[in-house]
């Protein structure tokens, strides 16, 4: 990787770094056709798409019992992978339980006012996979919904001739109520509109490829979604005290996700920048997914950047609004205080992004493409609705009556004003 100066970036280079593209427009037309067919034809379309896209002839779409069996078999075998899943689930659950808000009521000069929180009834979680294993995505999607109190949590995961037992066991461990072997855009459509087998939901969440993301964009409005996420990304903000090998390890780890992943390091120390670039180059061929990593590193959206000062580096970091922000610096807390735009922040040399990906506790379903400027990651809040409560006694209404009637009449809503006066006749 070459080191570039932040101050010398061209407009085109800045666009590549700051305007990361999820790529959904390129497939939107095809996805609209998939969504429409699933909406009209239900299970028939889902099965046809499974054979076309996944190469799997699906019989029973509902594999809830199969997930339970996979969990039981791993448990009977005393499989260490299940123990890892359980420990991660416990940590994720404990963190999300701290997010549950409390209902409250308070008195405001005779007005009893409050707010209460209630879960949605049905949520759908997309878990990428098929033959691959993504148990962490199952935990991150299902557990917040269960903690929030959602009555029915459905999971859709791509079909495979031999579904991965670890992913199925994780879905069961997380507490899902139903599991369906359906993937891609057709899974999002099935959750949004329902089929003969798949129960319709009120909100669809979870990560996926551009086909999944495009489908979420299309069904949005008919159901709620979490957000539209693109390829994974990391930004490491570092000063001269950082270990270049640790910084390089973060870039390499994130790059192995996807050829379109964005990996960036920015520092005010020229020697560190050069050392990071060298360490990245040296580490690529040692990794099993070297080809994927190389593609991500060669992207215009990736690079090692040298800033003239830490203030310039912080300004760049704020504009970038990373999905994952790693801060490796002497005074990381002071830098954190200056940054608002980040999906999840990892402080210090011993807080790799992988810890958050799997087992630390916070959620790994996070905004990408600068979305951290506008919203946060998946949480218990994602599955809650709030409503306000108010009770006024006669004296409290009397105190407000003139204000209410004056404003109502100013808006031409005479019956509103009369609804107050009526109570004092």
Helix (H/G/I), strand (E/B), else coil: 322? strand
N-terminal to C-terminal alpha carbon distance within the chain: 80
Find the angle CA(357)-CA(359)-CA(360) to the nearest 5 degrees: 90
Label the pairing between strands 233-238 and 322-328: parallel
Give the active site residue among 173, 224, 256, 323.
Answer: 323
d(Cα 378, Cα 87) in Å, to the nearest integer? 20
User: Which residue do the tokens 């006694």 mark?
Assistant: 393
Burial of 309 (0-12, 13-18, 19+ CB in 10 A): exposed
d(Cα 272, Cα 150) in Å, to the nearest integer? 48
3-state secondary structure 227-282: CCCCCCEEEEEECCCCCHHHHHHHHHHHHCCCCCCEEEEEECCHHHHHHHHHHHHH
d(Cα 231, Cα 210) in Å, to the nearest integer? 9
Closest CA to 53 of 195, 215, 176: 215
**323 counts as catalytic:** yes
Q: Which residues of 85-111 are buried (b: 16+ CB within 10 A; e: fewer)?
A: beebbebbbebbeebeeeeeeeeeeee
Q: Contact at 8 Å (CB) between 247 and 328?
A: yes
Q: Which residues pair with 223 in a beta bridge?
A: 220
291, two tokens? 């080809």
Closest CA to 368 of 341, 345, 343, 346: 343
C-beta pairs of 338-343 under 8 Å, 24+ apart in sequence: 338/314, 339/237, 339/314, 341/317, 341/370, 341/372, 341/373, 342/317, 342/372, 343/367, 343/368, 343/371, 343/372, 343/376, 343/377
Give the active site residue among 324, 333, 364, 411.
Answer: 324
Which residues are tagged catalytic?
Answer: 323-324
């Amino acid at each position: 990787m070459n080191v570039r100066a932040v101050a010398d970036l061209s407009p085109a280079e800045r666009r590549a770094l700051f305007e990361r593209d999820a790529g959904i427009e390129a497939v939107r037309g095809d996805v609209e056709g998939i969504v429409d067919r699933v909406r009209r034809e239900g299970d028939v379309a889902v099965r046809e798409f499974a054979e076309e896209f996944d190469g799997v002839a699906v019989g029973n779409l509902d594999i809830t019992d199969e997930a339970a069996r996979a969990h039981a078999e791993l448990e009977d075998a005393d499989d260490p992978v299940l123990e890892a899943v359980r420990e991660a689930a416990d940590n994720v659950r404990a963190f999300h339980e701290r997010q549950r808000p409390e209902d409250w009521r308070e008195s405001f000069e005779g007005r009893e006012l409050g707010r209460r929180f209630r879960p949605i009834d049905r949520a759908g979680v997309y878990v990428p996979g098929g033959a691959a294993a993504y148990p962490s995505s199952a935990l991150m999607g299902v557990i917040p919904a269960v903690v929030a109190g959602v009555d029915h949590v459905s999971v859709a995961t791509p079909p495979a001739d031999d579904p991965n037992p670890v992913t199925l066991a994780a879905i069961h461990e997380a507490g899902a109520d139903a599991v369906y072997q359906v993937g891609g855009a057709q899974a999002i459509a099935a959750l949004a509109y329902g089929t003969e087998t798949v129960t319709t939901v009120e909100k669809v969440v979870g990560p996926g490829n551009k086909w999944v993301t495009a489908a979420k964009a299309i069904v949005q409005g008919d159901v709620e979604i979490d957000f539209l996420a693109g390829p994974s990304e990391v930004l490491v903000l570092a000063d001269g005290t950082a270990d270049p090998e640790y910084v390089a390890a973060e870039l390499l780890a994130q790059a192995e996700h996807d050829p379109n992943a964005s990996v960036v390091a920015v520092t005010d120390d020229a020697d560190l920048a050069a050392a990071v670039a060298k360490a990245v180059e040296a580490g690529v061929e040692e990794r099993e997914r070297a080809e994927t990593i190389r593609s991500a590193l060669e992207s215009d959206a990736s690079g090692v950047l040298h800033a003239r000062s830490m203030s310039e580096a912080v300004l760049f970091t704020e504009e970038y609004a990373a999905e994952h922000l790693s801060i490796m610096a002497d005074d990381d807390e002071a830098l954190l205080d200056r940054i608002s735009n980040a999906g999840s922040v990892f402080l210090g040399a011993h807080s790799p992004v992988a810890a958050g990906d799997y087992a630390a506790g916070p959620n790994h379903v996070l905004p990408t493409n600068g979305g951290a400027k506008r919203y946060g990651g998946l949480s218990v809040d994602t599955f809650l609705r709030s409503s306000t409560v108010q009770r006024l006694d006669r004296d409290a209404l009397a105190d407000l009556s003139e204000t209410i009637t004056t404003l109502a009449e100013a808006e031409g809503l005479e019956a509103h004003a009369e609804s107050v006066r009526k109570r004092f006749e």
